[in-house]
């Protein structure tokens, strides 16, 4: 396209060339997926712009710094699986990793509705884990993304509770629930999502240890990325409009920034935000995209750090119930209250199917703590992770939803990544994003 043609087109769009910045790729979302994509695109000598609605990178990664003790405390993303992409990414920023031994401190099973003890889970967990692993091995295509066959195996669309009964996995439900926090009603969740979240890599880490930053500061990864990407990041910014069709060579995006409107023309777009219709409000979605993204539903997940007086040091309170199937706690509710490296500072995790206000979540957390020891927690940090665990119905899965979703990759010069395209797991999100970037390189 000639320069004069570009200027004329911009004029038709109501833009001037002086207002427009040009990039090879524009990444929308600076969470785990978007940050990884932007950093690695730069390594591939591609120019990038990152549009991030908050004032920081990292998404679900939350790190608190306790000034009194000089200690970092992660309370969003905690651990990583032992994957090459994880080692390479942290090594890129010179951040050392260590292996967290399996097991942990003492755990008490308590019904946090009442403060009463709960029976230990029953059955042979080791044997049940082996049976679960054998099931995972039947679906190697779940390793990266949702590259499903046609027809989709019926077992993958079963509610997980039915899948458990069918394959005698009752003894492992408690363990899977402990590692699958945030997904909502585990027993009603289609089995495919449980298998994506509790993968073979996670089973390996349960036995051999997860990876963790040596100083418990996962946020350092995103501080390093922000320094490297620098002026290419538009913080506190959102997409106002997008035009992927008018110009045969460029996608045109208008964003709202704290300094006013900014226009970007870009060869390609990577959308790295949860693909709900609300989140994609500024996109020029066509009927196909609207139809697919409108099928997603989700759960909500909340994390907090609180100072709590009088709890025994090193004791983790796991919320369970004596009057429910597999002793799983009713939701909405607290998952666990866990001591941190800072004396008297505890992590509290809470889950629900629907979004709940911060006031109501903290009130419910406080009631649970009061059932532990009668004290009132003092909240030091809080984050709402919603939407969380995007999913579609079993019928949609069986009817080819993920085949249709995968067909969007590269369509209208747009690529998609993030938890909805693999799992709510940073390690796997990075691996998926790496495969996506390789595919984009081929299509240049």
CATH number of the domain to which 31 belongs = 3.50.50.60
Indicate if 359 and 275 belong to the same structural domain. Answer: no
**What is the structure's pLDDT at 4?**
34
Tens of pLDDT, residues 252-297: 999 999 999 999 999 999 999 999 999 999 999 999 999 999 999 9
Compute CA 118 distance to the chain's CA centroid, rounded to the nearest angstrom: 30
The Cα 175–Cα 324 span in angstroms is: 16
**What is the count of structural domains for the chain?**
2
> Residue 158: which of 198, 190, 134 has the closest Cα?
190
**What is the structure's pLDDT at 241?**
98
**What is the structure's pLDDT at 373?**
85
* pLDDT higher than 70, residue 127: yes
Indicate if 310 and 177 belong to the same structural domain. Answer: yes
300: three-class secondary structure by DSSP: strand
Residue 357 within any structural domain of the chain: yes
Residue 249 within any structural domain of the chain: yes
**Structure-token pair, residue 122:** 């029953």
* pLDDT higher than 50, residue 6: no
Tens of pLDDT, residues 11-61: 444 444 447 999 999 999 999 999 999 999 999 999 999 999 999 999 999
Compute CA 336 distance to the chain's CA centroid, rounded to the nearest angstrom: 19
Tens of pLDDT, residues 87-101: 999 999 999 999 998
Angle between helical axes of 32-43 and 426-443 (0-180°, round to 10): 40
Please, which pLDDT band fits residue 2 given cuts at 50, 70 and 90? very low
Q: How confident is the model over 192-199, as a mean pLDDT?
A: 97
Is the Cα dihedral 268, 280, 264, 50 positive or negative?
Answer: negative
Tens of pLDDT, residues 208-249: 999 999 999 999 999 999 999 999 999 999 999 999 999 999
Please, which pLDDT band fits residue 443 given cuts at 50, 70 and 90? low
Residue 6 within any structural domain of the chain: no
**What is the structure's pLDDT at 409?**
98
**What is the structure's pLDDT at 313?**
77
**What is the structure's pLDDT at 101?**
87
Indicate if 129 and 267 belong to the same structural domain. Answer: no
**Range list of H helices, 13-103:** 32-43, 84-92
Strand partners, 345: 307
Indicate if 189 and 325 belong to the same structural domain. Answer: yes
Indicate if 181 and 222 belong to the same structural domain. Answer: no
Q: How confident is the model over 358-370, as a mean pLDDT?
A: 97
The Cα 283–Cα 285 span in angstroms is: 5
Indicate if 166 and 47 belong to the same structural domain. Answer: no
Q: How confident is the model over 120-142, as a mean pLDDT?
A: 96
**What is the structure's pLDDT at 105?**
67
Tens of pLDDT, residues 390-441: 999 999 999 999 999 999 999 999 999 999 999 999 999 999 999 999 999 7
What is the average pLDDT score of the chain?
A: 93
Indicate if 203 and 303 belong to the same structural domain. Answer: yes
Residue 76 within any structural domain of the chain: no
Residue 69 within any structural domain of the chain: no
Indicate if 154 and 285 belong to the same structural domain. Answer: no
Burial of 404 (0-12, 13-18, 19+ CB in 10 A): middle
In terms of residue numbers, what domain contains 200? 102-208+297-391
Please, which pLDDT band fits residue 251 given cuts at 50, 70 and 90? very high
Helix (H) or strand (E) holding 133: helix 125-136
Angle between helical axes of 84-92 and 426-443 (0-180°, round to 10): 80
Indicate if 267 and 229 belong to the same structural domain. Answer: yes
Strand partners, 233: 50
Tens of pLDDT, residues 54-80: 999 999 999 999 999 999 999 999 999
Is the Cα dihedral 427, 432, 434, 437 positive or negative?
Answer: negative
**What is the structure's pLDDT at 104?**
64
Q: How confident is the model over 295-306, as a mean pLDDT?
A: 98
Q: How far is CA 106 from CA 100, 109, 338, in A?
A: 16, 10, 10
- Is 52 in contact with 34 (CB distance < 8 Å)? yes
The Cα 264–Cα 49 span in angstroms is: 8
């Amino acid at each position: 396209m000639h320069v004069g043609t570009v200027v004329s087109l911009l004029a038709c769009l109501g833009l001037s060339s002086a207002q427009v910045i040009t990039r090879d790729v524009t990444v929308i979302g600076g969470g785990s997926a978007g940050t990884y994509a932007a950093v690695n695109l730069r390594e591939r000598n591609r120019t990038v712009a990152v549009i991030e609605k908050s004032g920081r990178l990292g998404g679900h990664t939350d790190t608190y710094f306790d000034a009194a003790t000089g200690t970092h405390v992660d309370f969003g993303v905690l651990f990583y699986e032992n994957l090459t992409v994880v080692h390479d990414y942290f090594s890129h920023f010179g951040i050392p990793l260590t292996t967290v031994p399996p097991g942990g401190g003492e755990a008490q099973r308590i019904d946090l509705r009442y403060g009463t003890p709960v029976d230990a889970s029953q059955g042979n967990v080791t044997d049940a884990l082996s049976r679960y692993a054998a099931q995972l091995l039947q679906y190697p295509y779940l390793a990266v993304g949702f590259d499903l066959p046609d027809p989709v195996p019926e077992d993958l669309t079963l509610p997980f509770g039915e899948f458990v009964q069918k394959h005698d996995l009752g003894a492992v439900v408690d363990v899977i629930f402990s590692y699958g926090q945030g997904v909502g009603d585990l027993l009603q969740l289609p089995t495919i999502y449980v298998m994506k979240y509790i993968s073979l890599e996670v089973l390996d880490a349960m036995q051999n240890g997860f990876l963790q930053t040596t100083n418990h500061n996962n946020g350092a990864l995103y501080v390093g990325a922000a320094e490297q990407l620098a002026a290419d990041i538009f913080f506190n910014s959102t997409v106002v409009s997008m035009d992927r069709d008018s110009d045969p060579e460029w996608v045109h995006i208008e964003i709202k920034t704290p300094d006013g409107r900014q226009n970007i023309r870009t060869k390609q777009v990577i959308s790295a935000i949860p693909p709900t219709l609300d989140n994609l409000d500024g996109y020029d979605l066509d009927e196909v995209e609207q139809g697919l993204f409108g099928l997603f539903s989700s759960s909500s997940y909340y994390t907090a750090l609180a100072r709590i007086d009088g709890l025994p040091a090193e004791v983790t309170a796991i919320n369970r119930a004596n009057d429910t199937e597999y002793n799983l706690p009713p939701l909405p509710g607290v998952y666990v209250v866990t001591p941190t490296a800072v004396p008297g500072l505890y992590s509290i995790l809470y889950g629900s199917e629907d979004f709940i206000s911060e006031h109501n979540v903290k009130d419910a957390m406080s009631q649970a703590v009061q059932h532990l020891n009668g004290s009132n927690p003092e909240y030091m940090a809080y984050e709402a992770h919603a939407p969380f665990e995007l999913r579609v119905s079993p019928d949609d899965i069986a009817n080819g939803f993920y085949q249709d979703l995968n067909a969007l990759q590269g369509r209208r010069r747009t690529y998609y990544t993030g938890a909805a395209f693999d799992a709510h797991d940073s390690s796997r999100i990075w691996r998926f994003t790496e495969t996506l970037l390789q595919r984009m390189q081929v299509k240049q």
